[in-house]
Amino acid sequence: MDPITAVLSEALLARIAARAPGYDERNEFCHEDLAELTAAGYLRALVPVDRGGLGWDLPSLVAAQRRLAAAAPATALAVNMHHIWVSVSRQMVERGHTEFEQVLHEAAAGEVFAFGISEAGNDAVLFDSTTEASVDDDGSVTFTGTKIFTTLAPVWTRLGLFGKDTSATGAEGETPLIFGFLERETSGWRTLENWDTLGMRATQSHATSLEGARIPADRIVRRLPVGPNPDPLVFAIFSSFLTLLAAVYTGIGDRALTLGAELVAKRTSLTSGESMDRDPDVRYKLAEAQLAQLSLDSQLRGIAGEVESGAEHGASWFPRLAALRTTATRTARQVVDQVLSVSGGAQYHRESELSRLYRDSLAGIHHPSDDESAHRTLATYTLGPL
């Protein structure tokens, strides 16, 4: 049996899809979904076999996340953040950075990793931080600040985060940006329950207030300078985050097209007496949506394969990744919009799956790298820096 369908069986995906409307309606975390995915071994997908995982590669996980997102986008986006840290750590360990071994071992043991990176107003993303990181004499680091969009907030057991050592003077060679993994049992942090959103509600991506949360020295994994730099951690985070994010939004488009084909076949034109899947205007619109979806499919598969193989794209890697993320989130909205336009007024009702897919697709506007950041990256690559 194919390893993806062996883990994400049709029966499991059907149960997850059936629960998705209720989670959305109640603005509730997908606890049952996570429990079933954990039991199936899905959170260990990228962990190498010799470390207790399934030993998948990135293209396999990308394909699996598309399947999961087609069933329940918010559930797929939630577990995405765990997978990203495992993917990052897998890349770093393969490059000899053994400090990330702890992530692979703990993911195999059942720990759930969340992403504590985003900060309100921080358009520098990974290249600066508004969170204060205070280094203690024993090498431990205390973090104070607020992280937004902390997906998996109700259940994470490890929070990967970073902050800036404000005692650094800015001298050449200093590395004030400090990355580490916070254990949930640690004091000095709290969840700010503010996730009541338009879509992707089951992720429960509440903000996290860090109020002197201490990470011991052995859980500090990287120190970087402020500003863009070629450190392998930067590439590992960007390549893992943007590729897996694109997989989720590609899955939304996959599901929208499937629904569209089903819905127009059930509709009948009063004028012609034929089903709407024979209407030339309907066929044109869904063909346009499929054109965009197939183009994205090729782009996603290509990038995932090249990240896995370590392709040498040099300075074009970040523009390629930004282009993938931008294309994926735009295409999801475009495809759902086209499908809605031909599926009849009933799909505008709140209980419609297409209505929920439309709302979920809009979250893509806000993920890093957002539209402005992506265009800065592409303009700099094309025209040179300002």
Task: For 210-268, write each residue's pLDDT tens digit.
Answer: 999 999 999 999 999 999 989 999 999 999 999 999 999 999 999 999 999 999 999 98
Spatial distance between the Cα atoms of 220 and 141, rounded to a whole number of angstroms? 8
Token readout for 253 is: 């488009």
CA dihedral (70, 71, 73, 77) positive or negative: negative
The structure tokens 């990181």 sit at 133
Mean pLDDT of the chain: 95
**Structural Rg of the chain based on CA atoms:** 21
Query: Would you state the pLDDT for residue 170?
Result: 55
**pLDDT for the residue 370:** 86
Query: For residue 226, what are the contacts with CB-CB under 8 A and spacing of at least 6?
Result: 127, 128, 164, 176, 177
Tokens of 204: 């429960």
Cβ atoms within 10 Å of 235's Cβ, excluding its own: 18
Taking only the tens place, the pLDDT of each residue in 340-368 is: 999 999 999 989 999 999 999 999 999 98
In eight-state DSSP terms, residue 298 is H
**CB contact at 8 A, 292 and 334:** yes
- Stretch 89-108: mean pLDDT: 98
Q: Return the amino acid letter for 216.
A: P
pLDDT at 135 over 60: yes
Section 30-38 average pLDDT: 98
pLDDT at residue 251 in the model: 98
Residue 274 confidence class, pLDDT cut points 50, 70, 90? confident
Q: Which residues is 214 bridged to in the sheet?
A: 142
Counts for the chain of helices (H) and strands (E), in that order: 11, 8
Give the phi and the psi of residue 368 in degrees, each rounded to 5.
-65, 145
Task: Judge if the upstream peptide bond of residue 134 is cis by omega within 30 degrees of 0.
Answer: no
Taking only the tens place, the pLDDT of each residue in 197-209 is 999 999 999 999 9
Q: How confident is the model at residue 102 (pLDDT cuts 50, 70, 90)?
A: very high
Query: Quick check: 34 and 79 in contact, CB under 8 A?
Result: yes
Q: How confident is the model over 164-198, as pLDDT tens digits?
A: 998 875 556 678 999 999 999 999 999 999 999 99
The C-alpha atoms of residue 147 and residue 144 are separated, in whole angstroms, by 10
Helix, strand, or coil here: 107? helix
Q: Looking at the predicted structure, is the pLDDT value of residue 276 above 90? A: no
Nearest-angstrom CA–CA distance, 252 and 71: 9
Structure confidence at residue 247 (pLDDT) = 98
Rounded average pLDDT over 321-344: 97
Burial class (CB in 10 A: 0-12, 13-18, 19+), 31: middle
